[in-house]
Amino acid sequence: MDYILHLGILICIYTILAQSLSLVAGYSGQMSLAHAGFYGIGAYTTALLSVNYGFPVLLTIPVALLISGIVAYIVSKVAVKTIDDYYIIITLGIQVVIFSIMNNWQELTRGPLGIPGIPSFEIFGFVFDSKFSFLLLSVFFTSLVWFVLKNITSSPFGRMLRALSEDEIYTKSLGKNVAQAKVVSFVISGMLASIAGVLYAHYISYIDPTTFTIDESIFILSIVIIGGMRNLRGIFFASAFLVLLPEALRFVGMPSSIAANMRQIFYGIALIMVIFQMGKQQQKKANA
Amino acid sequence: MTLKVQHIAKSYGEKQVLKDVSFELQKGTVTVLMGTNGSGKTTLFNIVSGFLKQDKGEILLDGKTINQTEPYQINQLGISRTFQDMRLIGKLTAKENVLLAFPKQKGENWWNVILPNKKVKQEQETNQQKAEELLKTCFIDDVADHKANEISYGQQKLLNLACCMANNTYVILLDEPVAGVNPVYRDRLTTIIQQLKQQGKAILIIEHNTDFIEQVADEILFLNDGTLTLFDNYETLKNNPQVQEAYI
């Protein structure tokens, strides 16, 4: 039973990550590979503050949001000046930089040794130390993120994002500040991803840099692509599908060593789909 | 509101496309910009709307310079434009395209849309009604819920004008609004442009269709060899030896 609850928690965490990425990759058409970086910023912020300084979670969450928001703002201010492949390369570079900081700034992050002993999530004296209570907490945060993203994407701001992803020049000609909209969507996306990081750190109670690698960014992007670039509900189902897939394959008799590697196969498929998606976008631009 | 374009010059490498272009647009007038292919008409549009920077000269909107201003800011100041190639958001419906064009929407500020907001909701409801009326005015209310890339070319041209009306700027630049449409749609487009003129808009149109020009033009600017000549009507332009030479 505990294992099923554990899978439920992971589905929630990946739903937050993938839905928040869809705001950037799906709605505003910016294919970001830095998402695991913001996931890591959330996790490391809460871990360092709670382990080293005893900060309560209610304080570490706003700090994690703030730091990831600042980093996302700086990154997007640079990345917004580029398009397509260049944009992806910049976000890839940022992902590598964030990972390198986690891995090499040993005085702060303990590098590859990671940070153990992260306390359980606690609010007003209630400790979410059982799998069931943590699942409820995760469902709450997932619903909150979903609700916020639903509001944003169905608003005129969301419409503007969809428009600029299809034709930036036309959207500018209508008086829309396209650059600002792209920066804002990236910042919101990065901040929401950090919430998943906070949840993960307090759930697992130990973090190290290997959780926040480029592989993780590609995995999150693959969820978005499989679920539908602008389909929040589809992304939830895709998260469930990709988290449960190795388990399902084990149940049908596939050796666990192969089943676990199915994730890698999906990375490959996702990468091919990304290239197709980019090809389609470039074709559209060429036809415009 | 007046738009003054003064002594604009623009070169692409060695080739000087615009040498010394000056003109003025007044409210409630339709000015047609003519010229042979490659004479620099679209370049002039791109400069006025901020998508291209001129080498020399100045653009003044109500006496204030708009040089070095971003295209989206120029639109917010009161100049909108259409493009020669059809530009709409194909994946949005016709109504959503019109809704997108409304200026200064509260719902376009992210801080208003993180959580449900009554003011944004009210604004959206009002804009929905306005959009439906505009689509009706532009004879395309029957395709309001069709994707913009799924309606006919003539309907897309009408939708372009509906978006211009929703955008509600003082100066409107239309790049070949009736090119490639049948006479029925041309008449509809003409009707809408005349309505915009009656509303007091200053309209500058690039066009080659002579019937249309005769119907709508208050004055005609002829761009040739990088300079502009002003004509009162199409007859005088047609009989001008310089114009005849340019087209031959």
Q: Can you tell me the ipTM of this complex?
A: 0.93
Backbone angles phi, psi at A206, to 5 degrees: -145, 130
Angle among Cα A97, A102, A104 to the nearest 5 degrees reads 85
- The helix or strand, by DSSP H or E, that contains position B30, with its residue range, turns out to be strand B30-35
Give contacts of B120 with chain A, Cβ < 8 Å.
Answer: 155-156
Task: Report pLDDT digits (tens) over A155-173.
Answer: 999 999 999 999 999 999 9
Low-confidence stretches of chain B (pLDDT < 70) are: 248
Q: Which of A151, A160, A175 sits opposite B75 (nearest CB)?
A: A175
Note whether B120 contacts A155, CB cutoff 8 Å: yes
Note whether B89 contacts A158, CB cutoff 8 Å: no
pLDDT band at A281 (very low <50, low <70, confident <90, very high): low
Give me the residues paired with residue B15 across strands: B12
- The helix or strand, by DSSP H or E, that contains position B164, with its residue range, turns out to be helix B153-167
Alpha carbon distance A177, A2 (integer Å): 49
CATH node for B1-77+172-248: 3.40.50.300
Gyration radius from chain A CA atoms: 19
| Closest chain A residue by Cα to residue B92 | A163
Give contacts of B130 with chain A, Cβ < 8 Å.
Answer: none
Cβ A274 vs Cβ A31: under 8 Å: yes
Of A134, A164, A146, nearest to A16 by C-alpha is A146
CATH architecture of B79-168: 3-Layer(aba) Sandwich (3.40)
Alpha carbon distance B80, B58 (integer Å): 18
Task: Report pLDDT digits (tens) over A175-227.
Answer: 999 999 999 999 999 999 999 999 999 999 999 999 999 989 988 998 998 88
Note whether A156 contacts B107, CB cutoff 8 Å: yes
| Closest chain A residue by Cα to residue B50 | A173
Task: Report pLDDT digits (tens) over A55-83.
Answer: 999 999 999 999 999 999 999 999 888 87
Predicted TM-score (pTM) of the model is: 0.91
Give contacts of B106 with chain A, Cβ < 8 Å.
Answer: 156
Alpha carbon distance A37, B63 (integer Å): 49
- Does residue A119 come out as left (phi exceeding 0), alpha (psi in the -120 to 50 range) or beta? beta
Contact map slice: B 176-235 vs A, CB within 8 A: none
CATH 3.40.50.300 domain span(s) along chain B = 1-77+172-248, 79-168
